Amino acid sequence: MTEQNKSTNGAQEQPYPPPVQVPYPQPYAGPYPPPPGAGPYPPGPYFAYPPAPADGNHGENGQNVVPPGPYMMFGPPGVVYYPQPPQGQAFPAPPVSASAPVGTKAKRKQVKMACTNCAAACKRCDESRPCERCQKYGISGSCIDGQRKERKKGIKRGPYKRKPKSHSDSGNFSGEWTPPGTQAPSAPTATTPAPSLHAVTQFAPPPEGYYPATIMYPPPPYIHPPEGQPGADGAPPHPNGQPPMMPYYIHPGAYPPYGHYPMYPPHMPPPPSNTAPPGQPPAAQELTTVNPSDTSKKDDEPDAPLANGKKRPRSSKSGEPKNKRSKVTRNGKDKEEEGTPSEAEPSGDIAV
């Protein structure tokens, strides 16, 4: 849960765990799910993120027109109801406290190649040339792409540690997804409808601010529709009459927080003793992947962020004289010598 500790992106710090009750103006009034408070668990409301439109509900440009949530859900840990509202109805806007996720921010998007000026100033660049920043500072003439170093070759490595395979075949949602940009199966689309039982890992990663829960099961009051028939709530058909297992994403403002949900697959007995009661984080290992962004930064574990979420203090700030535009790169090479724009930049430094 290191992401929790990371940047808050200006969002207010909120206590952990978040308040149990998140005010919600208009409880969902459809035939399904049942009203809050139906079970021996906190009445919610909770919020979840729908994996994809099950009915191929897409916009004109093929864009997913299902609102990104948050959606309402109810139930005890491990149980989330289908979030679809009744036909023609929309869920009310989430409470403000829930729409400003705790400790989250949009994933940083990098340009493929920053211009030499931006690279030297360690500032955001864009694809255009001259880039926006260079235009702003009137140095368009020197706004050129740098030269990318060739990658080292022939470096031997030790044996790889294979990651445990997730059992998506049996419907288990591992709580992980393939990182975007890799060989990830694409999110369900109009042509590839949302799966319901297997291949639950084929959903897109949760939006920023949401956290993966585990497979979700319908609550006891739910009556499964006949095999292959959509539920009255619009839920997708249930193969073999089994309950749908869908990964949902827990909003940080939800309760219980941070997706600490034990799994109760139908073919497995629920964890007996070490399962925490609703609202309590269960014993470790229940859901290891809690945050999407935690997949990165594995090559240097000791570099983990400080416990308080702050960056470690700068090492060279202790009265050491600043060496203007003399940034030493990771490989020990001084950028100054690589023809960085210390002279390309007119009238001294333009870093912003």
Partner DNA sequence: GTCCTCGGACGGTAAACCTA
Partner DNA sequence: AGGTTTACCGTCCGAGGACC
Q: Using CB under 7 A, which residues numbered 120 to 179 contact DNA?
A: 121-125, 146, 148-163
Q: How many residues bind DNA (CB under 7 A)?
A: 72
User: Per CB under 7 A, which region of 228-236, 244-252, 258-266, 295-303 contacts DNA?
Assistant: 295-303
- By beta-carbon proximity to DNA, the closer residue of 167 and 311 is 311
Residue 12 neighbours by CB distance under 10 Å: 8
x/- mask, DNA, residues 9-28, rule CB under 7 A, reads x-------------------
Q: Minimum CB separation from DNA for residue 113, in Å?
A: 4
> Toward DNA, which CB reaches closer, 3 or 286?
3
Query: Nearer Cβ to DNA, position 38 or 184?
Result: 184
Q: How far apart are CA 107 and CA 163, in angstroms?
A: 24
Q: Give the residue, chosen from 12, 61, 63, 182, that forms a contact with DNA under the rule CB under 7 A.
A: 182
Query: How near is the Cβ of 252 to DNA at its closest, in Å?
Result: 16
| Residue indicated by tokens 């629920």 | 270
Q: Which two tokens stand for residue 29?
A: 């009034």
Residues with Cβ within 8 Å of 111's Cβ and at least 6 positions away in sequence, in order, are: 125, 126, 127
Site residues for DNA, 201-230, by CB under 7 A, read: none
Asked if 249 and 212 touch (Cβ cutoff 8 Å), the reply is: yes
List the structure tokens of 285: 């290992």
Distance between CA 34 and CA 40 in Å, rounded?
Answer: 13
Of residues 84 and 172, the one with the C-beta less far from DNA: 172
Omega of the bond leading into 17 within 30 degrees of 0 (cis): yes
User: Do 260 and 1 contact (CB within 8 A), yes or no?
Assistant: no
Q: Kindly state whether residue 297 participates in binding DNA, applying the rule CB under 7 A.
A: yes
Candidates 59-67, 71-79, 187-195, 311-319 — which segment interacts with DNA by CB under 7 A? 311-319
Q: Select 57 or 326, whichever has its Cβ closest to DNA.
A: 326
Backbone angles phi, psi at 98, to 5 degrees: -90, -20
**Distance from C-alpha of 171 to C-alpha of 173, rounded to nearest angstrom:** 6
CA 100 to chain centroid: 14
CB closer to DNA, 40 vs 332: 332
Return the structure tokens found at 188.
């369900």
Q: Which of 13, 298, 308, 337 binds DNA (CB under 7 A)?
A: 298
Contact of 218 with 243, CB cutoff 8 Å: yes
Contact status: 322 vs DNA (CB under 7 A) = yes
User: Is residue 267 part of the contact set for DNA (CB under 7 A)?
Assistant: no
Binding to DNA (CB under 7 A) within 332-351 occurs at: 348-351
Smallest distance from the beta carbon of 221 to DNA, in angstroms? 39
